[in-house]
Amino acid sequence: MTSDLQHRIWQHKNGTFEGFTKKYNCHYLVYFERYDNVFRAIGREKELKRWTRAKKIALIESANPRWQDLSEDWGRQILFPRQSKAEADAIEASRQKLKIPGSS
Domain map of the chain by residue range? 5-74
pLDDT at 39: 97
| Most confident option among 13-17, 50-54, 73-77, 99-103 | 50-54
pTM: 0.69
Instruction: State yes or no: pLDDT of 46 exceeds 90.
Output: yes
Q: What DSSP designation does 70 have?
A: T
Q: Is 45 helix (H, G, I), strand (E, B) or coil?
A: helix
pLDDT at 42: 97
Q: Is 21 helix (H, G, I), strand (E, B) or coil?
A: helix
Contact between 21 and 27 under an 8 Å Cβ cutoff? The reply is yes
For 62, phi then psi, to 5°, come to -70, -30
Q: CB-based burial of residue 8 (10 Å sphere; 0-12 exposed, 13-18 middle, 19+ buried)?
A: middle
Residue 14 sits at the vertex; the CA angle it makes with 89 and 43, to the nearest 5 degrees, is: 115
Instruction: State yes or no: pLDDT of 65 exceeds 60.
Output: yes
